[in-house]
Amino acid sequence: MTPLFFNHAGPSVPEQHYMIDPLVRINLPDIRRLIAQQRYFVLHAPRQTGKTTCLLALMARLNEQSDYRALYANLEPAQAWRNNIPEAMRTICYILARCAQRDLNDNFMLGQAETVLQQGAGQALTSLLSLWVQQSEQPVVLFLDEVDALVGDTLISVLRQIRGGYTQRPAAFPISIILCGVRDVRDYRIQSGGKDIITGGSAFNIKTESLRLGNFARQEVEALWRQHTQETGQSFAEKIFPELWADTRGQPWLVNALAWELTEKMLHLADRRVPVTLEDYRTAREKLIQSGATHLDQLTDKLKEPRVHQAIATLLAGTGKPSDIPTDDARYVADLGLITLEPDIHIANQIYQETIPRELIWTSQITINHDQHWYLTPERRLDMPRLLQAFQQFFREHSDAWIQQFDYKEAGPQLLLQAFLQRIVNGGGRISREYGLGRKRTDLYIEWPLDEQAGFHGETQRIVLELKIRYGSLEATLADGLPQTADYAGRCGADEAHLLIFDRRSHLSWADRIWCDTADQDNRTITIWGL
């Protein structure tokens, strides 16, 4: 028997993967109520959250209980046909037919598909489902996955054909249809062949409810990882679990991908007698972030969308307020999984909080011409005064040109410093970030191992930097910034603390902007850098 493993690619299978019961993750009584009431509704969640796993389990449960005949189908292959309705409908009809053949041992739709297609693509889906339902002994429940992957006129046609058959249910059309995807129907922005923009709500106004599949609960995250311990005997340090929760907030792909990185990719942990330490976990976390895994790549690709840009730029800059982000945009970005709205608007988890700035500074980081060894002392410590003096000069010479290259100019100074530091720290140290709506600052925490061989298991240099934009007087900025920097340094157990103040007043000369000073705050010396 093949050992179980953590799954981070495709639907989970009980015989192969560690997993949380998918039917526990959805409100099964609520869904059964909606089906019994003959409702058409939406189940949506960010990518790789477990939607398909849940739908397949729900299909199996409904078919086992024999009250309904349930069928799942993924419509994503039809995306390639875009506005070509005839070819897209051919693809969709045959997807449905082959799913029924495979999962229900039912060949009826396969025999009817060509006939209905010859009668016209604009009614093919309605006709095929109507014929199939009429010969079924039980009411039919249909799960259509990846509907929002369809494009343009094809998506409009699918939604309207379903709406067209709605009044025929349950005798001649599915009693309930569940549309599944990343977005709620209200967020579909469909450009038809005539260039008109049609919203999903207008094309599918029979939807009665939208259900959102959430992340794992904290206890489910721990329970999932402990399945590995029960199976193999390999233990996880208890200190891992608080960090795992903060890093993922239960996002299923992240939870599984981190576990996979630890248990399958780290060679010394292949011996299941070796316990997994907190430092092992932190190493796996950094490797996952640096890997550019498909999930993270897809996520950061969304940063280019205008609706996403406004929300994320406001959070990165840290100077806005909730009303600066339109409600519809905030809900949309939350549906993508990038942010959460409760108790306030913030980046969804710490790994995304790390990934987003790194993605935005990637091009800048690899083209900044500064080498790490220039900033190391003979004891292999980072020489932060020398490094920040170099950044002051770099910022003076290049900031205007570099910041213009950023898509996220609102947070340009903060991002440019992060690009500069990431270039230096990569390959040895770690940078953690804290930022968010209304904080009016960005906090950076650098960890640098002093012994290359021991890595983070040995002595580590710890440095905090607080970044602030000057809006009022210098005195007011320092009155806020010095206590904040000291507090952050205390929380991190840092050896050094630096406060960087960006002055963006255009009339100011560089000679007046660039300066350095020190101040004592809460029994700690803080170096202050003007930029």
pLDDT tens-digit series, residues 410-447: 677 888 888 888 877 776 788 888 887 767 788 999 99
**In the prediction, which pLDDT does 152 show?**
82
Residues 102 and 185 in one domain: yes
**Per-residue confidence band for 6, with pLDDT thresholds at 50, 70 and 90:** very high
Residues 228 and 208 in one domain: no
Is residue 305 in some structural domain?
no
Residues 265 and 146 in one domain: no
Residues 148 and 195 in one domain: yes
Is residue 324 in some structural domain?
no
**Per-residue confidence band for 368, with pLDDT thresholds at 50, 70 and 90:** low
pLDDT tens column, 482-526:
999 999 999 999 989 999 999 888 788 888 889 999 999 999 999
Radius of gyration of the chain from Cα atoms? 27
How far lies 387's CA from each of 26, 46, 81, 501, in Å?
Answer: 51, 40, 53, 16
Mean pLDDT of 256-276: 95
Residues 31 and 150 in one domain: yes
Say how many domains are in the chain: 3
Considering the chain, what is the average pLDDT of its residues? 87
Of 43, 56, 71, 47, nearest to 17 by C-alpha is 56
In contact, 62 and 28? CB cutoff 8 Å: no
Residues 46 and 159 in one domain: yes
Residues 152 and 54 in one domain: yes
Is residue 351 in some structural domain?
no
**Domain coverage including residue 143:** 22-212
Is residue 326 in some structural domain?
no
Residues 233 and 273 in one domain: yes
DSSP H/E element including 199: strand 197-199
Is residue 12 in some structural domain?
no
Residue after which a domain boundary falls, among 276, 291, 306: 291
% of the chain exceeding 70 in pLDDT:
90
Residue 240 in this model has a pLDDT that exceeds 90: yes
pTM: 0.85
Residue 372 in this model has a pLDDT that exceeds 50: yes
Is residue 350 in some structural domain?
no
Residues 470 and 442 in one domain: yes
Is residue 340 in some structural domain?
no
Is residue 17 in some structural domain?
no
In contact, 515 and 530? CB cutoff 8 Å: yes
CA torsion, points 457, 462, 288, 214, in degrees to nearest 10? 120
Residues 82 and 122 in one domain: yes
Q: What type of residue is 49? A: T
